[in-house]
Structure 1
């Protein structure tokens, strides 16, 4: 009776509540369904974009690797525990403490026997699954035809095979060690190992098991030591990457000897498994440890101290030469064309006559500064936005290739309220805005060659809608079978918005069909001023194939769960045929379909074949190229325009621009082109993902005309060439001619903080003698020194030809040619920092800049450009002014130029160059005649009607004449310091500009 009374509460305590069971089941079901939703939405995305095999290959490879890793880790651990238990001594004498341990452990033994290996196996499976890329690369690798300088082995061994071998050995070593520990612990718990005073008793079965596992472990260490000799070819602990004299003559032979010793000790342990004598393996292990210290550390130290150091420069020459050759090959700079550039410093009259093309294309529009001008003049509505920095591109206009600054007008939904507006109404950006890089309006604004809403200009007809952009919403639901359009396409002159009516209708009608909405802008010819309130926005419906179709309730449900918005499931506005667009960032889309690529951080949009497309450069990289210098890719990319935002490192010592990718801004279509078909990494990936890469010969001429040399690749290469332009081992060892990129003199930083490096710039220029001007990317060099010895003078000028041509399927043979202009050591050509200081310290320039800063304006210094023209180096810097408060529209006010020690500061680049070169530079810049620019450039952007009446022409001419007069009066007033007259003249100029635009 007492027993029952006592036992009843215990039974009740053990009883699990039905509610708790229900809650657990519901939670598991929810988590399971969320996982299923995540998997299915990924499948639907890849299926729609046309790269489903890429996803399936990743999943299958990772799953197979997980299973292999799980079994390879769990099975040996399980067997070690099971064997140790089954072979335990039956009549072992246990201490009282071990008896208590057994009593506690025995009820859990079966659980631990299965659970412990399973848990450890999970770690092994996850570790193995993370290596799916390296395994697939190894399986699909092929020889490169190039060998290393030390062992003469094909480079493919280091890129593909060695990482796999080392990974397998490390994994197997971990498995063996864990199995050994598990087996020994089990044996100890069940009496297989016992301690009696100083004596240690080991059962026969325990001895055999431990000795065999120790044998396997030492065999693996022998293999590891043997592989380490090949790893030395990527070791960066010495003077330079790769084995130096000490490594070749002491470290590598030492690794081979130690591998042999480990093999002998392994045999001794195997003998012990049968003889039961531990003396020899213990002695062997001790000798192995002593040998590791003597041979692995002591001998190399002695060689370095007593043989290398006294004659280091001579002895290391051969190995430095290996490092130089391998590094230049791995980073693609082995074929750089080096040319001595004896720069003149006298600004003589007519010096630019032979550089007329380069001079006429000098960019005076700073893409970072005038992005705010673009936003103020072309943003149109608060639901549009422009990037902080514009793209530099080029287009053929009237048979002439013009350098431009451009950007897409992307959507901005940050100010929109309500799911309906954010997900169905404001779905896309509109248009690409482009301005001439070398021109300016009389008021200092850009001269647009494409702009406005609807978009008009010189780029011809193209699809202007941007559903896939850098700042597109997280997701949008578009298209479908609707009676009337609901997506805002672009605004008219009316001030009301379509979304208000649409939301009102959504509240009144469960189908949420907005009333009185116009159709696609191309299909309507109604006057916006006569439309009803619901028709004051031009509306459209997406007609492409850009996302998975929400064609049933299940599909809606999984996306509602994915985005945690139940409106996706419940809203009547999601009609039949609606598509859901997500993962819309061009970089994200390319990364998903090509996970093996490292993507350039500077994608750019161009109008190509009647579409806006994003062009993205993709790189294949490796950190395993023998003898090549290791670099942190993330650190190499840092400059004034790209500050470091992550502490993560990405070590590389090999890089190729292997892929050019495009993403259609309308339907998100991703296309990958094999740009460097000879890259061994890309060859392997092409086999892993067959059919995903098109040939470069499939590129259209229009697309090729916008391809450029990649920004990030150029940054890495300029850093490498700062050191590795020196090919003589002796000079390289002495570091007597090391260079670095100058700091950006325009960026201001806090005291004590090192300014960021000057970014590379795209310009049309001629790099060297007898070279035709080409669209290029360039950077400069100064001596890499510190302290009082630092000299801010130019030592080199690096340019890469960025003109891929415009013939379909044929890449220009000159594309990608690197040209390094080396200035003689005796020359003292000022570097960007010195030039900027000269600008600030010049009395005339300083006075005029101070005058510009007075009142409610502030001065902005634009990018300082360097061009090899006139036999020397010309510096050009635009100077902008903008209001200190209120609406800020940077306007180009002045141009600073420098050649040698001479400086000029004028209103136009053309005038500044003439002033700099004795009254006539011999060439014309693009901004010479401001009145002509208004007549031609702004006419293009505003789509002027060619049938203007004679009265309109007269009005326009009068306005232009007034503009010229106001400009002249304003300049004179500034020189006189008469700011009242300056303000009056500036107001006359603005009125004249308005009159000219109205006349157009």
Structure 2
């Protein structure tokens, strides 16, 4: 009968155990197994274990630390009991069975009673550390940057690496001290209620224990006041004038913080004297110190005093009173956004451009002007080169390649897989995961060409046709920018006519995948676990999966890099590189912080990741093998304290940039996102004196055309810096705020201009125009184009018969002491949406030439200036040269 009564309990226990085992397996061990296999597949198993060890060691260590603190104080309180006198009371306990049990609970049962309580409290306190364990990691592995901020004189690494952990620890330690003080105090109070023969006074030992706890509370409160000083460095109360502390913060609030510390310590001492000494009958000193502290603590919350200082001291003399603080904001922002690599060149514009045109009379300078911009070219790629319905082009990238003994700027795009474009009846598990597993090849075209001619292809079609000798041994794209499901390759399917990549058969049977990437499925155990992990039983039961099959997961570039290094923030534009062996993706990655002192905050949206920050470094270049999926991380900015700390923590993960293969290093470039962000900040902070910064008389903005900003674009050209060596740079024009004339042209490149070699040395050159001469901005040049009757008539004529006229991105180039503008004109079919380059307009000053080639347009413009160089006077009118046939 007794056994029958146990059956429900056994069933209940079995159900509970089964649920626990299932949850633990499915959400802990399953992920652990698959993650381990994945890290092994990319040869980073050591990094996997190290990262896991850090996470559990730091999280467990913090929990153990707080558990020990709680348990220690509970044990002290329970063992000592605060009994007064102890021996006499305990003897009375022995004579009373009721109180003997009470005594035993307090004296000898502490482990059973207080250990679970201490553990729960420790977990509660340690929860914030579980999600921010990497903050602790940076603290332990960080080094000094040897760059000091100007307000308190601390090393910058203190703010980037140490201050975050201090701000995390201080409130937790304060909460711990307060909790222990309250709970120990309650224990002593309960003893005086339940234990007989107790004096009114606490035993001296109990007083010492409580006094020490109060001392810890006081210490952590004072630490909080000290940390409060650093919060002044991040105030935005002076925006939009400047960021950071000003007169009120440094001259008023900071002294109040110090006074608050002194008054709080005085109050704590008086409280201790009042509670624990015979002087407690005299309450006056304590109440005086308490009132003093409350007054000082409340002063920052009284608006009258800072408003009075602002109104009658700061506002009448803003530059004089805030000068040093404005300068601190300028200097800090330049450091935080790495603007110190900007070289400013004052450029006086020569209205007579004849001399500069003659100097630039080299056809080589016009061979790489990108009249094809990627926003228009993507339509042509999609229409002409996707070829199969399951392929797609997502982005067009710009790069430079040595083609026909000369460096040519090109546009290129990977032909990636997109199974969602298959017919509905073909979207089944086998097709998506075993058959249509990857993209194939890429297309490459010249960024520059003559108008009224077909697009110039360097690489095209599924058979990788090339006219310039480009070859890629393994052109399969298993990893890319698109949305990729998992793929299982190789498999036993006889895949026919998917990519058409095998030239040895008329059917185009794809070559069997023989790369190294992917998790091997070489046992029933792995098949079962992967089937559960990927939530697809067909993986286990499919007979088309062999022992040599591998499953590829995390095939999107951003997902793949973030899975490995979630602490890196990625550029929005990874770009493709074609090498002899295979295709690679290069992904720029950043380290960010919002703790750089006195630096202005900015918001930027990275892939799946919007961030507010006031410090950024392009510290890492990530290379992703598009065939195998291998990842390599190269440190491109070793001066960055954050990436140095991660590199110390994870030895072997990050490599020096010099270890990157030479053929890949030649394709490194200045990141577009970083340059755009730096120019956004530089537009205001190029005014480096407090007086100019306060006046904001030369604040810039991105140049605009048709209400859209002209974003940075890449250009390959010899700018005369390194012995006729061409540079691949980002160009960005800017105008005065609310105006259309040009203020500057910025060029960002990676060429080492000192050594004139291919060593990676990012830098920015800003050509700043004098204010006494009007330099047309892109909107003004476009207005000149639209106002010209001959050109307008041609636009009207071309925009008929099923075509629309579109003006592409305007290219703006500094050319000696003048500025060259190139405006491509496209005709786009309303049916096929394929653009055709039909004309280019070249402009210098107020003169326009429209033609089919850049070189001929430039030569005609040159002849015009040379002919009239002696007597041409600017009249403000616009002159255009149009081909006689009106084309």
TM-score normalised by L of structure 1: 0.75
Residue correspondence of structure 1 range 776-925 to structure 2 within 5 A: 776-784=729-737, 790-803=738-751, 812=758, 815-869=761-815, 871-885=817-831, 887-914=832-859, 916-918=861-863
- Structure 1 window deviating more from structure 2 (79-88 vs 350-359): it is 79-88
Residue 40 of structure 1 is matched in structure 2 by 33
Q: 1:777 to 1:380 in 2, by over 3 A?
A: same
Say whether 1:585 aligns with 2:573: no
Q: In the TM superposition, what is the alpha-carbon distance from 1:300 to its structure 2 partner? A: 5.2
Contact 1:347–1:902 (CA under 8 A) maintained in structure 2: no
Residue 28 of structure 1 is matched in structure 2 by 20
Q: How far apart in 2 are the matches of 1:682 and 1:16?
A: 58
Say whether 1:137 aligns with 2:138: yes
Q: How far apart in 2 are the matches of 1:56 and 1:271?
A: 53
Aligned to 1:739, which of 681, 700, 705? 700
Contact 2:138–2:161 (CA under 8 A) maintained in structure 1: yes
Q: What secondary structure sits across from 1:324 in the alignment? A: helix
Structure 1: segments with no counterpart, 5+ residues: 1-10, 92-108, 194-200, 492-520, 529-535, 638-644, 747-754, 785-789, 923-969, 976-1000
- Structure 1 window deviating more from structure 2 (821-830 vs 870-879): it is 870-879
Q: How far apart in 2 are the matches of 1:192 and 1:890?
A: 91
Residue 429 of structure 1 is matched in structure 2 by 439
Q: How far apart in 2 are the matches of 1:804 and 1:768?
A: 13
Deviations 1:449-486 (A, max 9, x none): 11122112125322211111112622101126x5x753
Residue 479 of structure 2 is matched in structure 1 by 468
Deviations 1:131-158 (A, max 9, x none): 2222122211222222222333332222
Q: 1:296 to 1:860 in 2, by over 3 A?
A: same
Q: 1:110 to 1:691 in 2, by over 3 A?
A: closer
Residue 382 of structure 2 is matched in structure 1 by 375
Residue correspondence of structure 1 range 305-344 to structure 2 within 5 A: 305-344=311-350
Residue 663 of structure 2 is matched in structure 1 by 702
Say whether 1:451 aligns with 2:480: no
Q: What secondary structure sits across from 1:229 in the alignment? A: helix
Say whether 1:274 aligns with 2:276: yes
Q: In the TM superposition, what is the alpha-carbon distance from 1:62 to its structure 2 partner? A: 2.0
Structure 2: segments with no counterpart, 5+ residues: 90-109, 195-199, 868-882
Q: How far apart in 2 are the matches of 1:735 and 1:171?
A: 44
Q: 1:119 to 1:880 in 2, by over 3 A?
A: farther
Q: 1:903 to 1:130 in 2, by over 3 A?
A: same
- Structure 1 window deviating more from structure 2 (586-595 vs 790-799): it is 586-595
Residue 508 of structure 1 is matched in structure 2 by none
Residue correspondence of structure 1 range 215-614 to structure 2 within 5 A: 215-238=215-238, 240-275=242-277, 277=280, 279=283, 284-294=289-299, 302-345=308-351, 351=357, 353-354=359-360, 356=362, 357-387=364-394, 389-414=395-420, 415=422, 416-440=426-450, 442-443=452-453, 445-457=454-466, 458-462=468-472, 463-471=474-482, 473-479=484-490, 486=495, 490-491=499-500, 525-526=504-505, 528=506, 536-614=507-585
Q: How far apart in 1 are the matches of 2:694 and 2:837?
A: 48
Contact 1:246–1:304 (CA under 8 A) maintained in structure 2: yes
Q: 1:466 to 1:202 in 2, by over 3 A?
A: farther
Q: In the TM superposition, what is the alpha-carbon distance from 1:649 to its structure 2 partner? A: 4.7
What's the Cα RMSD here? 3.8
Deviations 1:757-780 (A, max 9, x none): 332100024568998552110111
Residue correspondence of structure 1 range 556-705 to structure 2 within 5 A: 556-634=527-605, 649-705=610-666
Contact 1:804–1:815 (CA under 8 A) maintained in structure 2: yes
- Structure 1 window deviating more from structure 2 (431-440 vs 217-226): it is 217-226
Contact 1:333–1:721 (CA under 8 A) maintained in structure 2: yes
Q: How far apart in 2 are the matches of 1:837 and 1:19?
A: 84
Contact 1:799–1:818 (CA under 8 A) maintained in structure 2: yes
Q: 1:881 to 1:742 in 2, by over 3 A?
A: same
Q: How far apart in 1 are the matches of 2:638 and 2:76?
A: 54
Q: How far apart in 2 are the matches of 1:877 and 1:688?
A: 51
Q: In the TM superposition, what is the alpha-carbon distance from 1:819 to its structure 2 partner? A: 0.7
Contact 1:340–1:823 (CA under 8 A) maintained in structure 2: yes
Q: In the TM superposition, what is the alpha-carbon distance from 1:70 to its structure 2 partner? A: 3.2
Q: In the TM superposition, what is the alpha-carbon distance from 1:694 to its structure 2 partner? A: 2.0
Q: How far apart in 2 are the matches of 1:566 and 1:804?
A: 56
Contact 2:471–2:580 (CA under 8 A) maintained in structure 1: no
Deviations 1:329-385 (A, max 9, x none): 222222421111222456659826516333231111111211121122111111111
TM-score normalised by L of structure 2: 0.84
Residue correspondence of structure 1 range 151-190 to structure 2 within 5 A: 151-179=152-180
Contact 2:484–2:556 (CA under 8 A) maintained in structure 1: no
Q: What secondary structure sits across from 1:828 in the alignment? A: coil
Q: What secondary structure sits across from 2:399 in the alignment? A: strand
Q: In the TM superposition, what is the alpha-carbon distance from 1:177 to its structure 2 partner? A: 4.2
Q: In the TM superposition, what is the alpha-carbon distance from 1:218 to its structure 2 partner? A: 3.0
Contact 2:366–2:854 (CA under 8 A) maintained in structure 1: no
Q: How far apart in 2 are the matches of 1:589 and 1:27?
A: 32
Q: How far apart in 1 are the matches of 2:124 and 2:863?
A: 75
Q: How far apart in 2 are the matches of 1:901 and 1:419?
A: 62
